[in-house]
Amino acid sequence: MSNFFKSVFGKASPKQLQVLPQNVTIPIEPGKTLLEAALAAGIVYPHDCTVGNCASCKSRLKQGRVREATPFGYTLSKEELDAGYILACQAFPRDELTVVELDSPSESLPPPGKFAATITSTEILTHDILRVTVKTDGPVNYVAGQYANLLVPGASRARSYSFANAPQRKGRDVLDFYIRKVPGGEFTEALFRGELNGKPLGMEAPLGTFHLRGGDAPMVCIAGGSGLAPLVSILEHARVTKIKRRCTLLFGARTQADLYQLDAIKNIAAHWQDHFEFVPVLSHEPADSDWSGARGFVTDHIDARFCLGAEGYLCGPPPMIDSAISRLTQFGIPINHVHYDKFTDSRDLNQ
């Protein structure tokens, strides 16, 4: 019976969603996105922003057609779209059966909780990046690479920052963040003036799905600006747990004055269990300066020699991520082996 006759003579049965690799099939109530249907059915489906910004819910469409609430191309790269990825939070089913496949089910990621927190200290890392140390009223059970939402009382909205230390580094109730000053941004200007030191904050954490996957594939890590934070957390965690994988870390900054945490990176490199290469790349360093290292865009320095059989871990602004995805896949890294945390509206941009 067609849906027309069903709607005339009885209730149409809801469309179906099959989620792989769990191989679970569930109904999708009318007006619900694939993500809403999956979460309502209790499926652990990676997600974060739910508004099409973060790509945490990206999944491969294996069967059926979907309608895009907002175009997937705002967030997903051309390579991801070509590979059949969609955003489940922005997808409404058009066919009776929709089949999607998740790259890495996030069962292992801890659920978020709410904490009371206080800024205990700040340290200037560069002219516009501050290390902010926060103490919470209980341990935050996060995985390296994830982030927290910080809420200042009276502020209109929370701000999102990645944890910058490995979970085991200082105990799970003392947490570091690298926060970039945004000119005119009420929150970060107050932070840099020291006005928030000792003030109570609300924190929701851990959030996000960016984390180190298992296995022994070489790692290609690419950071831009304050996007170094989750990568330092991941690399410190890998160092402490003595993970044995080749690693290349490319760090893009504007000038020498924008490089930071070089001692922390040196320490990671010195104790790394396999080959570790660090390549800082400066995009706006004066031509006549004493800098003898790499220049240009950080993604111009992605090289076939360290991409063979590797996984990509990226954190930075969207153009850097999109360009890195393009280069890494050109050098043979499968798109589902490229993991990233793309700055969205509240990270590094407009606070």
Chain contacts with ligand FES (rule: CB under 6 A): 47-50, 52-57, 75, 87, 89
Q: Shortest distance, CB of residue 33 to ligand FES, whole angstroms? A: 9
Q: Shortest distance, CB of residue 331 to ligand FES, whole angstroms? A: 26
What 3-state class would DSSP assign to 185?
coil
Q: Shortest distance, CB of residue 292 to ligand FES, whole angstroms? A: 41
User: How far apart (Å, rounded) are the C-alpha atoms in residues 2 and 242?
Assistant: 59
Given the complex with ligand FES, which of 48 and 341 has the nearer CB atom?
48
- Order of strands, edge to edge, in the sheet holding 276-282? 294-295, 276-282, 247-253, 219-224, 311-316, 338-342
- Inter-residue contact 199 to 134 (CB < 8 Å): no
Q: Shortest distance, CB of residue 214 to ligand FES, whole angstroms? A: 23
Given the complex with ligand FES, which of 136 and 344 has the nearer CB atom?
344
Given the complex with ligand FES, which of 54 and 259 has the nearer CB atom?
54
Count, residues in the chain: 351
Q: Within a 10 A sphere around the Cβ of 26, how many other Cβ atoms? A: 17
User: Crossing angle, helix 262-271 and helix 228-240, to 10 degrees?
Assistant: 30
The residue written with tokens 């990270």 in the block is: 347
Nearest CA-CA partner of 140 in 109, 171, 161, 169: 171
Given the complex with ligand FES, which of 39 and 232 has the nearer CB atom?
39
Given the complex with ligand FES, which of 34 and 228 has the nearer CB atom?
34
Dihedral sign (CA 298, 301, 306, 307):
positive
Q: Shortest distance, CB of residue 284 to ligand FES, whole angstroms? A: 31
Given the complex with ligand FES, which of 90 and 136 has the nearer CB atom?
90
Q: Shortest distance, CB of residue 233 to ligand FES, whole angstroms? A: 21
DSSP summary character for residue 87: E
Given the complex with ligand FES, which of 87 and 253 has the nearer CB atom?
87
Q: Shortest distance, CB of residue 117 to ligand FES, whole angstroms? A: 24
What 3-state class would DSSP assign to 28?
strand
The Cα-based distances of 80 to 47, 85, 98, 223, 344 in angstroms read 17, 5, 19, 20, 18
Given the complex with ligand FES, which of 105 and 218 has the nearer CB atom?
105
The residue written with tokens 């009276």 in the block is: 154
Q: Shortest distance, CB of residue 56 to ligand FES, whole angstroms? A: 5
b/e sequence 32-68, b meaning 16+ C-beta within 10 Å: bbbbbbbbeeebbbbbbbbebbbbbbbbbbeebebee
